[in-house]
Amino acid sequence: MTIDRRSFMAASTIATLISAKATAQTLPPHLAGSPIPRGLPQPAETIDLWPNGAPGMPSEALAKALIETVLERSTDRLVTDRAVFGITAPRMAVFRPDRPNGAAVLITPGGGYRWVVVDKEGYEMGRWLAARGFTAFVLFYRLPGEGWAAGPDVALSDAQRAIRLIRHRARDYAVDPERVCAMGFSAGGHLCADLATRFDATTYAPVDAADALSAKPHSAAPIYPVISMTAPDAHAGSRALLVGKQATPALEAAHSPHVQVPANAPPFFLVHAEDDDAVPVNNTLLLRAALKAQNVRAETHLFEFGGHGFGLRKAIGKPVEVWPELWRAWARTTGLAL
């Protein structure tokens, strides 16, 4: 194949514009002085969610204390396991595939609403998806315990806005705007399920044309998710930070996705390990029962062993390691992966 000078210059111009757009955004969470091991590609492109800053800033005193902080939790110099909190510039880190298949996945990592995991449930999944043709967007969302005006809905605001932005910029990423899936882990699984059940909830005032688009994901994959905000199934840490230790039954129900399932919810893919000692497997079972009651498609996989937070790396060598390929096979039945 030959490329004439005009085509080359046009391609160069487009690449320059994309690069400029990417560099104008807030950089991905970074831990200064901590080298990244070779063989772990980092995202070079981010998308800020809010053009004029995130809405509903905390009070002045709380806002001063909000400094984005990245912690390295790994003791292995060959593996990173970062977590970030104090997020005031919510954004998506983008993993572009070499050959896009037209589908996008919004990833919401876990962290118990205390922080957002960067690597284990974010970048690792982003790389896996991009290697298989999916354009992956890892969401660094604001945390509900940090004083934002939207309170328990602040992370949902970011997730709704993220889906709308992906659709609004679908052409930039060779993505079909109808094929934008949500996938989340643990507390990020709660956010994923919250998004897929309350996509129509008004959690922020529209800021631009993107907000005229639907926030309903094509499909949803909450992986070992926090679902119930009511004891004994609630994950205590997530509940305390999302709705507060003294939450009323009404507030608990408002933020328990299995209580909020609408008849037009998208298809769900559910995975949990029965020996999960952090988030009881009944969270997934409650969600499945609620989906079935509304005749919403729900594929469910329960594994005897796996514990909590297995993601990709901790699933290796166990039967649960097949879950990503099970999701991929299921995604084909929904029309997400053609």
pLDDT(31) > 90: no
- What is the model's pLDDT at position 33? 80
- Three-state DSSP at 295 gives coil
Confirm whether 274 is domain-assigned: yes
pLDDT(245) > 50: yes
C-alpha–C-alpha distance, residues 266 and 195, integer Å: 10
- What is the model's pLDDT at position 62? 77
Reported as a pLDDT band with limits 50, 70 and 90, residue 7 is very low
Number of neighbouring beta carbons within 10 Å of residue 315:
20
- What is the model's pLDDT at position 11? 37
Number of neighbouring beta carbons within 10 Å of residue 200:
11
pLDDT(14) > 60: no
The answer to whether 287 and 193 have CB atoms below 8 angstroms apart is yes
Confirm whether 181 is domain-assigned: yes
C-alpha–C-alpha distance, residues 305 and 318, integer Å: 8
Q: Which of 63-67, 96-100, 176-180, 322-326 shows the lowest mean pLDDT across its residues?
A: 63-67
Range of the structural domain that residue 196 is part of: 69-334
Tell me what the mean pLDDT of segment 34-63 comes to.
89
Dihedrals phi, psi of 270, to nearest 5 degrees: -120, 135
Model pLDDT for residues 176-187, shown as the tens digit of each residue: 999 999 999 999
- What is the model's pLDDT at position 319? 97
Confirm whether 33 is domain-assigned: no
- Average of per-residue pLDDT values in the chain: 92
Confirm whether 43 is domain-assigned: no
Tell me what the mean pLDDT of segment 167-195 comes to.
98
The answer to whether 175 and 140 have CB atoms below 8 angstroms apart is no
- Sorted by sequence, the CB contacts under 8 Å of residue 98 that are 6+ apart come out as none
Reported as a pLDDT band with limits 50, 70 and 90, residue 38 is confident
- What is the model's pLDDT at position 8? 31
Question: In the beta sheet, which residues pair with residue 136?
Answer: 95, 105
pLDDT(247) > 70: yes
The answer to whether 92 and 47 have CB atoms below 8 angstroms apart is yes
Confirm whether 52 is domain-assigned: no
Give alpha helix (H) positions in the chain.
Answer: 5-23, 60-65, 124-130, 154-168, 187-197, 236-242, 249-254, 282-293, 323-334
Q: 230: domain CATH number? A: 3.40.50.1820
Confirm whether 9 is domain-assigned: no
Dihedrals phi, psi of 272, to nearest 5 degrees: -155, 150
pLDDT(4) > 70: no
Q: Checking DSSP bridges between strand 116-117 and strand 135-140, what pairing results, if any?
A: unpaired
pLDDT(22) > 60: no
Tell me what the mean pLDDT of segment 21-49 comes to.
85
Model pLDDT for residues 60-83, shown as the tens digit of each residue: 877 778 999 999 999 988 889 999
Q: What is the pTM of this model?
A: 0.92
Model pLDDT for residues 134-168, shown as the tens digit of each residue: 999 999 999 999 999 999 999 999 999 999 999 99
pLDDT(18) > 50: no
- What is the model's pLDDT at position 78? 86
Confirm whether 27 is domain-assigned: no
Percent of the chain with pLDDT over 90: 85
Exposure string over 324-338, b if 16+ CB within 10 A, otherwise e: beebbebbeebebbe
Percent of the chain with pLDDT over 70: 93
- What is the model's pLDDT at position 60? 80
Our count of domains for the chain comes to 1
Confirm whether 120 is domain-assigned: yes
